[in-house]
Structures are given as C-alpha cells and as structure tokens.
Chains A and B, each alone.
Chain A
C-alpha cells in the first residue's frame, strides 16, 4: 500500500521536475503565436483591401497571394522560408522564418475572413458616409472596418487558434517550441504517452485562453453596446 503511494509520488515528482521546461516551451509557442497573429492581421487586411481594389496592380498580387497560400501545405511554406530562402542568399533564424511563414500563411485565411466581412456590410453604410463628404479611406477606417472587426471576431479567433496549433510545425525547423521540446524530453525518458499528453494539455490551455479572450472582446464590443 505505502509502496504504491511512494511510487505515485515519485512519478509525479519526476513529471513535475520537467514542468518548468514545458512551461518555457509553451510560452515560446504562445509568443510566436502572438507575433504570427500580428503579421497575419497586417497581411490579411492588406490582401482583403487589395482584392477589392479597382486597381489591377493591387488586385492581382493580393489574389495570387491568397490563392498560393491556401493551395499549398503550410509545412511546405515553412520549409520554403527556412530551407529555401538561404539558397537565394537570405538566411533567417528559425524564429524569424517561423513567424514570417506562419504569419503570411495565416494572413491569407484572415484576408478571406475580412473580405467576407466587408462583403456582408450593407452598401448603405459606405454610401451614407460618402454622402456626408467622407473619403472612401476615411469611411473605411471609421465606419466600415470597426463594424467588420466586431463581426469577424469568431472566425478570426478560430484562425488564431489554428495559428497556435500550427506553431508545432516549427519543430521541423529546429525551433524548440512545445512540440520539439516534448520530443527531446521523450527521447531522453522513453515516456511518449506522458509527455505528449502534457504537451496536448498545454496546447489546449493556450487555445482556451485565446477563445476566452475573444469571447470577452465579443461581449465587450457588441455592436449596440
């Protein structure tokens, strides 16, 4: 009886001793996610507006960007940035290559979400702003986008959660984020079930934080509050 207890305690202690390393790796994944989100919102907004532009020089690159990214595997895009670019003389650290690759990847999906949001806006919203003398850019900034932002919080949150989960792909370019960290620990301990489960729980905690944050924003910025 007491032998079992001792064994259990030893088991938990051994797992607990690995926790600081796992928390650091989680934090790194979360940090990368925040940067990826920032890059993706920038790319996504530009691409969405570009696709709607009446200028071909803006529309075509934006259309190509979304088409290319959504039609190719994320992993291949990551490899292009980390392994491919050095061949052209541009050598990026795993961190920078990872943030850029995932940010640009996620941006294409954000662009489609933003475009959907813009398309869902009644035409009268823009027209009433123009009729009062606003420029299209001012109307976009003050009237249209603030409403679109509120409308797209749920799909944007999904996309942010995807971005977070996609950081695990960066384990393939020597970035010791949560997944690669787990692999290294498992290689030393031969306890894949324990440690992949711990990694999964940590990912779950982080995606939950993101969705709860978004739910709060959605409540806070409801259109009529």
Chain B
C-alpha cells in the first residue's frame, strides 16, 4: 500500500489537567473514508481539530503528504503563518453548525477563500463555485443569503465551500447532528457521493448506518484512545472490544427506539454502488 496521506502518531491533547487525547495514532490512506465513532466527550472533535491545528496538540506528530507538520511554531503578531495556512487549504473541514457567513451570499461564501486565500481570479473562482453549487442543486440560490436556506441546504453549501479549495482530505464533525431528521439524508448523500469519487474523508458521526455503509474503516475512540480500528463492517457489525459493544448497543437501541429514517440507508447504498456502474 502507498504511503499514507495523513499520519497521526501518538497525539496527545491536554486542556489544563484534562487529558482529552491520550496517544492517538492513525494512518489515513488516499481515498480512504474513515468513520470516527465514540461516546460524547471521548475526544472525537478534538482529534479532528488537531488535524488542521484548530487545536494545537500537546504532544505527538502529524505527517501530511509526507511532510511533518510543525505545529509548535507560534504564529506572528498578525497571525500570518504561511505553512499553517497552506496546511489548512489542503484539509477541508465541515462543522456541526455549518458556520456559513451570514453577511455573504451563498456564492460569496464559496468564493471567499479561493479568492482571498489562494489568490484566484474572481472569474475562475466563480466558475468553479457555480459548478459545485449546480452539483448540489443550489445554483439558483447562489445570490441568496444563508438564512434563506434550510439547514440541509446550508450544510451542503458548507461542504461545497470547503470543496472549493480543492482539499486533499476532508474532515466532517457530526455534520448532520444539528439537522432535522428529514434533512439528514441529503447531506449524507452528498458525502457518500464524495466518498464514491475517492475523496479522503475523516467522518465523526453518530449515523451508524452511514459509518457502516459508506466508510471503509471505522475507528472507535474511548476516553482519548483508539480502542478499535478496522473494517467498518467488523467494527460496527461485530465489535470485539467490550467498550465498543457497549457503545454500539446504546446507540443502536436509541436509534431503533426513535425509528431509523429509511431514506438514509437507501441513499448510502445507491452512492456506494455508483463507482461500479
């Protein structure tokens, strides 16, 4: 197998006395889709945020595309840090709360970073943005402000905003958790189609169907450690570690109690089938 796109080696993160990550190692290969699952507070978000240095790890090393990431460097007075910026342009991130910028239109949200970070000509950025918006069926909404869009539409725009930077890896942090159940499917479908195209993805999620069906690999995190890491069917379908079993029992029971939204699995199946067509 080729060298990993991203290597996390023994990552630790402490907030004061609270050690949230206690030595996490993870190799992420090109085109791999990894679901990161675990209980609330286990450190999943912190792990993702360490990858693009929204959090500075306390110890450990990050190697991205063969280069060690120097996360110890302090940014200058005005925060200008080219290496950090370059890393972040190659790693897209999507948040639970969309975080679109409300004072900008949908199109402006998408072209902002290509123009002002990558220095792209406006026409070029707009062309790519419009193609991406067309792909998610929101081309007509491009001059609307985000507040006019549904949660699902906003989240898909947020995904497209990250894609506009043509990232190598995408990080998703519970991107469907804030959505009304009927809007979850459209976002998962978009993610599944990205996965099918070969995007490398780290996906923190509570959607076990998605984790199982779309991702190749699942990583179960418990109290800041990787407890189980393997083929997603195995980790979710037949976990070996008691903590994993416990967690999945709880999640799946709640899931069935609420009533699984039937659309999600179908959508994921269809997306997964796409490359074989």
B75 interfacial by beta-carbon distance below 8 Å: yes
The contact of A224 among B78, B81, B91, B148, by CB within 8 Å, is B148
Across-interface contacts of A135 in B (CB, < 8 A): 75, 78-81, 85
Interface on chain B toward A: helix, strand, loop, or mixed SS? loop
Report A's interface with B, CB cutoff 8 A.
Answer: 55, 122, 124-125, 127-138, 142-143, 146-147, 150, 223-225
Across-interface contacts of B162 in A (CB, < 8 A): 131-132
Interface on chain A toward B: helix, strand, loop, or mixed SS? helix
Total B residues in contact with A, Cβ cutoff 8 Å = 35
Across-interface contacts of B88 in A (CB, < 8 A): 130-133
B273 interfacial by beta-carbon distance below 8 Å: no
Q: Name the residue of chain B whose CB is nearest to the CB of A53.
A: B77
Q: How far is B147's CA from A87's CA once the two chains are assembled, in angstroms?
A: 58
The contact of B79 among A122, A131, A137, by CB within 8 Å, is A137
B93 & A131 in contact (Cβ 8 Å cutoff): yes
Across-interface contacts of B113 in A (CB, < 8 A): 129, 132-134
Across-interface contacts of A134 in B (CB, < 8 A): 85, 113, 116-117
B103 & A133 in contact (Cβ 8 Å cutoff): no
> Smallest CB–CB gap between B36 and chain A, Å?
17
A143 & B93 in contact (Cβ 8 Å cutoff): no
Annotate B103-145 by CB proximity to A: 1 below 8 A, 0 otherwise: 1000000001100111000000000000000000000000001
> Smallest CB–CB gap between B30 and chain A, Å?
21
Q: How far is B101's CA from A150's CA once the two chains are assembled, in angstroms?
A: 13
Q: Name the residue of chain B whose CB is nearest to the CB of A55.
A: B77
B89 interfacial by beta-carbon distance below 8 Å: yes
B78 & A137 in contact (Cβ 8 Å cutoff): yes
Across-interface contacts of A130 in B (CB, < 8 A): 54, 88
Across-interface contacts of B77 in A (CB, < 8 A): 55
Q: How far is B147's CA from A224's CA once the two chains are assembled, in angstroms?
A: 7
> Smallest CB–CB gap between B48 and chain A, Å?
10
> Smallest CB–CB gap between A52 and chain B, Å?
13
Annotate B78-106 by CB proximity to A: 1 below 8 A, 0 otherwise: 11110001101101110101011111000
